[in-house]
Amino acid sequence: MIVSMKEILIKAKTEKYAVAAYNVNNLEWAKFILEACNDSKSPAILEFSEGAINYIGGYNVAVSIVKSLIKDLNISIPVAIHLDHGQSFESCKKAIEAGFTSVMIDASSLPIEENIKLTKQVTEYAHKNKVSVEAEIGTIGGKDINISYANINDCQKLLSEANIDFLAPALGTVHGLYHGKPHIEFSRAKEISEKLNIPLVLHGGTGIPDEMLLESINCGICKININTELQVKWSKEVRKYLKDNNDVYDPRKIIKSGEKAIKEAVIQKNKLLGSAGKAL
Ligand code: 13P
């Protein structure tokens, strides 16, 4: 059943667990993730970046893939379809028109007043369509991108003026693989959570030790974004399969060779974060 992400995350906040949001790269990934979440009886958040949306063909394709899989595979858990790092009002509007139930507007590279203005434009349109909105403050790190921690006053201003549903504050995590030990500003997360009282989102979930993920939930994190971890695990298995079976050319066999690794990772993560069993 397709639901709003708000429904999933308010329950997570109240019951103090987190739901992983898995980035989807193609039809098979959506299928593997949905089946694994269904087996875990965990609510599912399937998120698509603009890059992934372009890759698969468009916003309508993303929604159709998820809806069709839910129907044909008899998936019975609540599922939210989320736009990850929407870069413009137009992108969020296209996602909403196609049937995404949640969008992220990432205006974090703009000065705070402009971030608020653009985010507000998105929330006004999204809420009219019963779609929830995630926004970002500060800079989440990444390849050639330096971290800039979320300013608490900016977070409060963004919530009060733009009426967002969830916030991704930059807390020290990075997108992609870590070089060195991850660092999360837990006290900052806790303070933001207490002042804003809305579900917080942790980006860059790959490579963060389990105990740090659990501590982040104690500090108000309700959604943890995971992309690279599944890509690394899947590609490792596919490489091995191709090496061991160098006469295979059926793409179904090649892609499927990474299915088990994805499913095991999803089931383990849902259990760790406490979302397993919550879809009952
Ligand atoms: P990772 O690729 O580091 O898991 O981050 C995913 C993410 O935050 C998507 O927005």
Question: Does 211 fall in a domain?
Answer: yes
Cα gap 139→249, rounded to integer Å:
42
Residue with token string 């205006």 = 107
What pLDDT shows up at residue 144? 84
Interior/surface letters 75-95, b for 16+ CB within 10 angstroms, e for the rest: bebbbbbbbbbbbeeebbbbb
106 lines ligand 1 (CB under 6 A): no
Task: Give the Å distance between the CA of 226 and the centre of ligand 1.
Answer: 5
Query: Is a pLDDT exceeding 80 seen at residue 200?
Result: yes
Task: Give the Å distance between the CA of 54 and the centre of ligand 1.
Answer: 18
What pLDDT shows up at residue 217? 98
pLDDT digits (tens, 9 = 90+) for 160-174: 999 999 999 999 999
How many structural domains is the chain composed of? 1
What pLDDT shows up at residue 95? 98
Report, as an integer, the average pLDDT of 99-104: 98
User: Which of 1-5, 28-32, 140-144, 196-200 is predicted least confidently?
Assistant: 140-144
Cα gap 263→36, rounded to integer Å:
5
What pLDDT shows up at residue 180? 86
Q: Which two tokens stand for residue 73?
A: 């595979």
Q: Which of 39, 56, 47, 30 is nearest to 83 (CA)?
A: 47
Report, as an integer, the average pLDDT of 41-47: 98
Q: Are 77 and 37 in contact (CB under 8 A)?
A: yes
Of 108, 143, 203, 233, the one to substitute when testing ligand 1's pocket (max ligand atoms within 8 A of C-beta) is 203
Report the catalytic residues.
84
Confidence tier at 280 by pLDDT (50, 70, 90): confident
Number of C-beta neighbours around residue 264 at 10 A:
12
Question: Average pLDDT over the chain, rounded to whole?
Answer: 97
H helical segments located in the chain = 5-15, 27-40, 50-56, 59-72, 89-98, 112-128, 152-162, 186-196, 210-218, 228-244, 251-256, 259-273
Question: Does 154 fall in a domain?
Answer: yes
pLDDT digits (tens, 9 = 90+) for 24-38: 999 999 999 999 999
What pLDDT shows up at residue 173? 92
What pLDDT shows up at residue 90? 98
Report, as an integer, the average pLDDT of 88-108: 98
Residue nearest to atom 1 of ligand 1 (CA): 204
Task: Judge residue 169's burial from the number of C-beta atoms within 10 Å of its C-beta, 0-12 exposed, 13-18 middle, 19 or more buried.
Answer: buried
Of 104, 212, 225, the one to substitute when testing ligand 1's pocket (max ligand atoms within 8 A of C-beta) is 225
User: Looking at the whole model, is its pTM more than 0.85?
Assistant: yes
176 lines ligand 1 (CB under 6 A): yes
Question: Does 241 fall in a domain?
Answer: yes
Task: Give the Å distance between the CA of 206 and the centre of ligand 1.
Answer: 6
CATH number of the domain where residue 216 is located: 3.20.20.70
Query: Is a pLDDT exceeding 90 seen at residue 196?
Result: yes
Residues sharing a CB contact under 8 Å with residue 51, sequence separation 6 or more, in sequence order: none
Question: Does 278 fall in a domain?
Answer: no
Query: Is a pLDDT exceeding 80 seen at residue 250?
Result: yes
Question: Does 279 fall in a domain?
Answer: no
Question: Does 158 fall in a domain?
Answer: yes
pLDDT digits (tens, 9 = 90+) for 47-96: 999 999 999 999 999 999 999 999 999 999 999 999 999 999 999 999 99
Give the nearest ligand 1 atom to 176 CA. Answer: 3
Residue-number span of the structural domain to which 224 is assigned: 5-273
233 lines ligand 1 (CB under 6 A): no
pLDDT digits (tens, 9 = 90+) for 112-158: 999 999 999 999 999 999 999 999 999 988 888 888 999 999 999 99
Q: What percent of the chain has pLDDT over 90?
A: 95
Kindly compute the dihedral angle of the four CA atoms of residues 54, 56, 58, 61, in this order, to the nearest 10 degrees.
-170
Kindly compute the dihedral angle of the four CA atoms of residues 41, 45, 46, 47, in this order, to the nearest 10 degrees.
-160
Question: Does 190 fall in a domain?
Answer: yes
